Structure 1
Amino acid sequence: FDSVLSLCRNQHRRIVLALLTEEQRSLPLNDLTKTILTYNHQTTITEASEDVITEVRRSLHHVHLPKLASAGLINYDPERQLVEPTEQLDQMQPTLSPILDADSTLEAPMEL
C-alpha cells in the first residue's frame, strides 16, 4: 500500500496509471505526453511550447516510467517508446482505483 501511495504522489504517474487502466493496452510515449499535457497542463500538444513538451517527455522517460517499471506496474520499451500495463497493474486495481478516483483533475473515462 505504501509503495502505491508513493508512486501516486506525482500527477504524471497518476495520469499514466489512470490511462493505462482505462485503455488496457500498450500506449506510445506520444499518447502519454498528449494526455499529460491535457490533464496536467490544460493544453494540447499543438498549443504547448516545445520546451513544455520536451520537459514532459524527458520526465516520463527518465523519472516516471522507470519508477513505474521498477514497481512492476508497467513495461517500458524506450527504443520503441512504448508503455504497456502488466498483470501486476491489474492486480493492484483494488488499491489503485480509490487513489485515482480521489484526484478530481482526472476525468473518467480518460481520453487520448
Structure 2
Amino acid sequence: MTEDPIAFDAVLDLCRDKHRRIILAVLAEERRSLTVNDLRKTILSCDHHLPVTETSEATLTEIERSLHHTHIPKLESAGVIDYDSDRQLVEPTDQFDRLQPHLSAILDIDPTLEDPIEL
C-alpha cells in the first residue's frame, strides 16, 4: 500500500473535534474561501441547531473564541487552510485537496453530521 500514513494520521487528528469536522465538511462541500462568520453560522446550525438570531451571546463568543484560538490555528498549522486575519477569511489549500479521500471517509461515517453540510 502506497498511502502516506502520516497524512492519514494528520486527518484523524484534525477530525478529533466535532467543530473542526464541521469546518472541514463545509470547506469540502463549498470548495471556496469562507469567512469566519460563515464557519460560526455553520457550527451553530449543525451543532447547536440554532440560527444566530436565537443564540446567546455567550455561545457566540465561545464559538468565535474556539475558532480563533483553537480550530483555525490547528488547521492552518497542518497546512490545510490559509487564514487571512485582516479579512477574516479561511481558504482551503492544495494540501486540503490531497487529504480529501481520507477526510471524506471519516466525515461519511460521522453519525453526528448531516450530509451535506452547507452554509
Match of 2:104 among 97, 104, 107: 97
Match of 1:74 among 69, 75, 81: 81
Q: Distance in 2 between matches of 1:78 and 1:51?
A: 22
Whether the aligned pair in 2 keeps the contact of 1:73 and 1:85 (CA below 8 Å) is: yes
Secondary structure of the structure 1 residue equivalent to 2:53? coil
**What is the TM-score normalised by the length of structure 2?**
0.90
Match of 1:55 among 45, 57, 62: 62
Q: Distance in 1 between matches of 2:78 and 2:115?
A: 24
Structure 2 segments unaligned to the other structure (5+ residues):
1-7
RMSD (Å), alpha carbons: 0.9
Could you say which structure has the higher helix fraction?
Answer: 2
Following superposition of structure 1 onto structure 2, how do residues 7-46 of structure 1 map, counting pairs within 5 Å? 7-46=14-53
Q: Distance in 2 between matches of 1:106 and 1:39?
A: 7
Summarize deviations over 1:3-38 as a string: whole Å, max 9, x none: 211110001100000000100000010010000011
Q: Distance in 2 between matches of 1:42 and 1:26?
A: 23
Q: What is the total number of aligned residue pairs between the two structures?
A: 112
Match of 2:72 among 65, 70, 77: 65
Q: CA deviation at 1:94?
A: 1.0
Secondary structure of the structure 1 residue equivalent to 2:111? coil
After the TM superposition, list the runs of 4 or more consecutive aligned residues in structure 1 that deviate by more than 4 angstroms: none
Summarize deviations over 1:57-82 as a string: whole Å, max 9, x none: 11001110000000000011112110
